[in-house]
Structure formats: C-alpha cells, structure tokens
Chain A
C-alpha cells in the first residue's frame, strides 16, 4: 500500500546520497558461471557458500589477530616484551594457544549433564557467528543485505544468555550456576540501552539495513558520520557492547583474579576454547558494528567518489571500482581494529566494577540516558530534517 507520493519521497531520499553501484562480485561471478552454461539458480547455489566461508575464515583470523594484539598490547602497557619466539614478533602465538586447547583432553565432569554441557558453548558461539551475516564491508560486500539488518543482530545476541545459563546449569557446580546467572543477568540488562542506542541511529537513517545506515552517513565523508550527530549514543553503545562482550571493566562473570571462573569453571579443552572464541569474535563484531553505526562503515574520510572526480576518473570504471572496494574493506577493518585497540587498552587500564555498580550503571544511568537520547533525536529529526535524516 506504498502510495505514489511515498515512493517518490523514498526515491528523493535515496537520490542525494552518493550511492554508486560499486563492485558487485556476486553479479560478476554468476555472470561468469552462466557463461559456462549453468542455470541462474545453479549459479546462485554455487555462489552462496563462498562469502559465508570467506566471512567465517575472516572472523577466525580476526580473532587470532585480536589475541595477538591483546598479548602484545598488554605487554607494552606493563613494560614487558610479550610473546616473541613463535614466529616474527610472536605472531604465531595465538595459533599455538589454539592448538594447545585443541589437543587438551575434553573433560566432562562425572555428574554433569553431558548433553547440555556440550550444547552450552555451541549456543554461545553460533549466534555470534551468524551475526556476521549483516556486517557490510562495501556496498555489495556482505553476505546478505537483509531488510531487518541491525535488528537481526540484536535479536541473535539475545540468544547468548540461554547458552550461558545452560553451561552454568549443566556443570553441576554452584559456582558455575551462580556465574551463569550473573552472566545472563549482565547480558540482558545491557541489551536494553544497547537496543535504544541503535534505535536512535535507525530513526535517523530510516532503515534497519546496515548498508542503508552506512550510505546515509557517507554524504560528505567524515563530517556526516553519525558520531557527530549521536555522540551520546556512541558512548552508550560502546559501553554496552563492552558489557555484552564481558570485557573489562565489565568482566565480572569470569573475573579470574577474584572468583572462580564463573560458568566456565568446569570447562576444558575445545569447549573452553569455544567460549574464548565466542567472546573474541563478539568483540571484533561489536567493533565492526560500532564502525558501521557511528564511524561511517566502509567510508573514507573524504568520499572516494570526490577523489575519483578530482582525478578525472569515472566512479564506474572497473579499476576505480576495485580500488574503491579495497579502500572500503581496509577502512572498515581499520576502524574496527582501532576500537579493538581501545578496548584492549581499557582492559589493562581501568579497574573492574562491582556487581551492584554494574547493575546500577546499566539500569539507573544508561537506560534513562538512552531514552533521553532517543527523545532528543526524535525532536531534532522533526526540527532539522536536513541534518537528522527527516
């Protein structure tokens, strides 16, 4: 029932943003396969697993890099050297860590619940990996531009507490159970301000799709990034993302210096590695989403189209498209890793909060602030539709 004026308005909204078709690998790939005589459906079927595998490998490599960064940066903060023998600058150290965990015995406690004990870590990791579905690295460089985009990530991340509760319960250990309950309580209380912060951004860009959110920010490069229009939302989102990832200063569920390791107490070997992997994938994912929501995603500080125009090149030329796509990927990853660097630095700088401070911060401070932020965004959107995406 979208009426003609409404669709015209939608078209007018789309028009001013600098949207070039960009590199569409899927179209090119399926074209080539159809050139070999495959039907379009079969060509699509051959294409489907490729980006998924690529993103899975990308996520795991991202985790390895993050673990290495964590070790090196923590060493630098404490004036140590850190890993240095495994590969140049110790770059193979995370691989060695992973192999060690892979070779360790997979212990299931005698009176634990074997099925739930195994299913718990799986339920923690799978939603996180699924969420990579909506992370865009370019106009067409994502697995699926689903319409509900960022909402899909929010709903998937709400599955995680069930995995934590399951792990805590199945261990048959009161420390695990309490740790699981604490972790789940932390996770669900920080989800609400997180969703409200995202909602303010969604309201400005009139779309839930991550691609549209980035397009809306890249009208004039760094000047139109959402961080200038949503500074409060940015801070709320980043705090909540750290709490969701159980990073310091919010790593109470597994505070290794103070209590037993929470819901991970009974876990060893690969199952423990899954929790570890899940938390690091989640950190990288959160950093990527912060860059998508607030830092212009794949956008270069000066729009690439302007640069191409200044150099007298058409933005549709094949070479320019390849360069644009590469710059987009590099920018996304660069912004994300700057945030990861910041998170690691925070971890080795600030002390941990207490559980009552944690819940107070979430419910009595972040939630009202996020609501006010939403209200102010709505008001500004009505008052200055040109700047706040009327």
Chain B
C-alpha cells in the first residue's frame, strides 16, 4: 500500500465514522441545539468525502449551501424560537420509540440489501478533477435546465410563503379596527433562553412591537 492510498483509506474511515456517529447524534441527542451543531459537522464530513472523490467543486458547494446557508438558518430558527420548557409527558413513549426504531431498522436493512445486490461498477469512471466545474455548468444550462429552473421556482415559492407567515401582522390587519390580527402570537412573555426555571416576565422590558406603535 502506498502512502497516498493509505492516507486516503484513513481519511475515508475517519470521515465515514464522523458522518455515521454525527448523524446518530443528530437523531438521538435530547438537546436540539447540539443536534443542529452536529448536523453542521455531518455536512462538513460529507464535503470531506466529496473531496476524497476528487469532486472539489461539489465539496465547496456543499459547504457553502448546506453549512453556510441551511445549517445557519436552522440555528437561527432554533435560537430565536427555542425556549426551555418542560416537555409534557407523551403517553406510550416507550412503544413509540420501539415502533420508530423498528421502522428505521427496516429501512436500514432495505438500504443494506440494495447496497449489496447492486452490481457497482468499481472502479467508477475516471474523475475529471477541475474540469468538473465546466462540465457541471454545461449540464445545468443544457439537459438539466428545466429541473434547475423548477428548483428556483420552488425556492421563490418557499420565500413568499415565509414572508407571508412572518409578516402576518402586516398582511392580515383587521380592516374595521386597523389592528393587526394575531397580536397574541407576537406578544409572548419573554423568558431567558437557557435558564432551566423560566423567570417571570418583567414588565419593565417593553416589547419592540409595542414600542413601535
């Protein structure tokens, strides 16, 4: 085994372990913030696997899109919304866990079966390295043009939906009184994020929404 191939094998083993353990942590950890940070780690490890496959452009795009955008958005959502509150006891939690575990195990077996009976063409096609960027561009603007554009339409729809949801106070004002419709949604009591015991909402801190009016 040469130096290059053994290095590659070691990197592959480490990255695969990071992906597998990280993904398990994302699912199993009770703290949602840890899950979100671990998800970023999983995305980074997948980017590392792409690098090992000589697909540097895909790796960089993976980091930019999934770590830099998707994961940051997830973290934003968690940190702006998340409040430590005692979870209500769910009836039959043990049974639910067993059932969902069984479904996951079934899916895993199915994937394993696919992985073992598919006749993989190894070694695959020769990696083209840096030319891949040009090739991806050609494909995106010829035979994959329609899916590419459809994806952008989907994103636009998601964006409009997000704006409608976020600015409900502006969009759905009551015509008769001029009051925003969902005032209750906006004025929740402010509690510190990380304290286990929620502090009483202080009346001295007016909400920014109230201040504006």
Instruction: Using CB atoms and an 8 Å cutoff, list the residues of chain A in contact with chain B.
Output: 1-2, 41-42, 45, 111, 116, 146-148, 151-152, 154-156, 158-159, 161-162, 165-166, 168-169, 172, 174, 177, 180-181, 184-185, 188, 191, 208-209
Q: Is the CB of A169 within 8 A of B33?
A: yes
Given the interface contacts A41-B2, A151-B57, A188-B69, does A156 sit within 8 Å of B63 by beta carbon? yes
Residue numbers in B under 8 Å from A185 (CB-CB): 76
Q: Is the CB of B192 within 8 A of A161?
A: no
Residue numbers in B under 8 Å from A161 (CB-CB): 68, 72
Apart from A147-B133, A174-B192: 20 A-B pairs, beta carbons within 8 A = A41-B3, A111-B194, A147-B56, A147-B129, A148-B60, A151-B57, A151-B61, A155-B61, A158-B63, A158-B67, A158-B69, A161-B68, A162-B67, A162-B71, A165-B72, A166-B37, A169-B33, A181-B76, A184-B72, A185-B76
- Check B4 for interface membership: any CB of A closer than 8 A: yes
CB proximity to A under 8 Å, residues B4-58: 4, 33, 37, 40, 44, 56-57
Residue numbers in B under 8 Å from A151 (CB-CB): 57, 60-61, 64
What are 9 A-B contacts with C-beta separation under 8 Å?
A: A146-B56, A152-B60, A158-B67, A159-B63, A161-B68, A161-B72, A162-B71, A165-B72, A188-B69
- Check B103 for interface membership: any CB of A closer than 8 A: no
How far is the CB of A343 from the nearest CB of chain B, in Å? 24
Q: Is the CB of B72 within 8 A of A148?
A: no
Q: Give A147 to B130 CA distance when docked, in angstroms.
A: 5
Q: Give A337 to B2 CA distance when docked, in angstroms.
A: 43
How far is the CB of B3 from the nearest CB of chain A, in Å? 5
Q: Is the CB of A162 within 8 A of B37?
A: yes
Given the interface contacts A116-B37, A148-B56, A161-B72, does A169 sit within 8 Å of B79 by beta carbon? yes
Q: Is the CB of B40 within 8 A of A162?
A: yes
Chain B 113-142: CB-based contact to A (< 8 A → 1; otherwise 0): 000000000000000011101110000000
Q: Is the CB of A159 within 8 A of B37?
A: no
How far is the CB of B156 from the nearest CB of chain A, in Å? 16
Q: Is the CB of A191 within 8 A of B33?
A: no
Q: Give A346 to B32 CA distance when docked, in angstroms.
A: 42
Which of B3, B68, B134 gathers the greatest number of chain A CB atoms within 10 Å? Answer: B68
Which of A151, A165, A180 gathers the greatest number of chain B CB atoms within 10 Å? Answer: A165
How far is the CB of B204 from the nearest CB of chain A, in Å? 14
- Check B193 for interface membership: any CB of A closer than 8 A: yes
Residue numbers in A under 8 Å from B79 (CB-CB): 165, 168-169, 177, 180-181
Q: Give A42 to B3 CA distance when docked, in angstroms.
A: 8
Q: Is the CB of B2 within 8 A of A159?
A: no
Chain B 70-88: CB-based contact to A (< 8 A → 1; otherwise 0): 0110011001100000000
How far is the CB of B2 from the nearest CB of chain A, in Å? 6
Q: Give A2 to B133 CA distance when docked, in angstroms.
A: 12
How far is the CB of B90 from the nearest CB of chain A, in Å? 26
Q: Is the CB of A174 within 8 A of B64?
A: no
CB proximity to A under 8 Å, residues B181-202: 192-194
In the A-B complex, the 10 residue pairs with the closest CB atoms: A158-B68, A147-B130, A155-B64, A155-B63, A155-B60, A172-B194, A148-B56, A148-B60, A165-B75, A151-B60
Q: Is the CB of A208 within 8 A of B68?
A: no
Residue numbers in A under 8 Å from B75 (CB-CB): 162, 165, 184
Q: Give A45 to B7 CA distance when docked, in angstroms.
A: 11
How far is the CB of A121 from the nearest CB of chain B, in Å? 14
How far is the CB of A347 from the nearest CB of chain B, in Å? 27
How far is the CB of A111 from the nearest CB of chain B, in Å? 8
